[in-house]
Amino acid sequence: MTYRMRNILIAVALAGFAALLVTFYISNYKKSVQHSRASVTVLVAAKDIPQNTTGADVIAKGMLKTEQVMRSAVVPGAVASADQIRSLVATQTTYAGEQITNARFGPEVQQGVPGQLSATQRAVQLSGDTNQTLAGIVQTGDYVDFEGVVSVDFGGSSSSLTFSRIAVRNLKVLAVSTASSPTTKITPGGGAGGSNSAVLLRMTDQQAQKVALVYATARGSSNNYWTLLLRPGLKSQDSPNSVETPFTLLTDGIAAGTLRIALGIGVASQAGGH
């Protein structure tokens, strides 16, 4: 076999192999297109499904219907059977015509107050007078700080210290209740200052320890007090942490000479010298 003939045979073989590859690719491509265009049955919302609607109600109230759509149009996580959401609850609103997906349904425990808590977060209810709880001002969804005024006895009345500081910051208000709103879900309990208002706050378990200490110390004491501070709705900022005492309150921003005069220091010595 001549060199030229061998090259011709190799070229023919390669051309045939390339033709087989092209044929194989075209065949698979056609199958893929046909597969993606095949119609499948999906569940869609027959009407708007509001958030917090249970799966059982969705089924019982005829909020579902089936439709045929191309396989390529099926939404990721689409629910194939109504039984898949029967024991769940809608975590988001699904609008009429939208496909039903797992992403918009979850366990019922995720709803209500527990649904607004995660990890180390806890819900703590405080009751106090209307000034302490900002009754009529603070609303669900607002954020507040918790400030306490506490007297610490170091062994005798002469060695006690009264101080004020913001114990914890940026607590979300989960619910509010007042004596004039008996239909609310939380009920005011006992507290300082003639309690007639309550507020449910979200805080971490460590923050709850601080709040509980101030709250318990303030009950029935005229020297101890706590109150909520409403934070700005947008772009709130915090000053550096500080502690205020009677001494810092007396001396803050006051010139030394003015302070001595106010305390009678130096005046009495000058009078004795005449």
pLDDT for residue 4: 73
Q: Are residues 187 and 230 in the same domain?
A: yes
Asked if residue 265 and residue 188 are part of one domain, the reply reads no
Total number of domains constituting the chain:
4
Kindly indicate the confidence band of residue 190, based on its pLDDT and cuts at 50, 70 and 90: very low
Would you call 246 helix, strand, or coil by DSSP?
A: helix
| 135, pLDDT greater than 90 | yes
Residue 123, in any domain of the structure: no
172 within some domain: yes
Residue 127 covered by a domain? no
The pLDDT of residue 274 is above 60: no
Which residue range forms the structural domain that includes residue 274? 244-274
Last residue of a domain, one of 87, 107, 127: 107
Q: What percent of the chain has pLDDT over 70?
A: 83
Residue 15 lies in a domain: yes
How is 52-121 classified by DSSP, letter by letter? T-BHHHHHHTT-EEEEEEEGGGPPTTB-S-GGGGTT-EESS-B-TTPBPBGGGEE-GGGSTTGGG--TTE
pLDDT of amino acid 187? 46
Does 157 reside within a domain? yes
Q: Kindly report whether the global pTM for this prediction surpasses the value 0.75.
A: no
Position with higher pLDDT, 259 vs 48: 48
Do the domain assignments include residue 129? no
Q: pLDDT by residue (tens digit) across 198-238? A: 999 999 999 999 999 999 988 767 789 999 999 999 999 99
Same domain, 28 and 62: no
Task: Say whether pLDDT at 38 is over 80.
Answer: no
1 and 84 housed in the same domain: no
* Domain presence at residue 248: yes
Across residues 243-257, what is the average pLDDT? 89
Q: Are residues 149 and 78 in the same domain?
A: no
Q: Does one domain contain both 15 and 53?
A: no
Which of 84, 107, 130 is a domain's end point? 107
Kindly state the average pLDDT of the residues 152-173: 84
Which one of 59, 84, 107 terminates a domain? 107
Residues 170 and 237 in one domain: yes
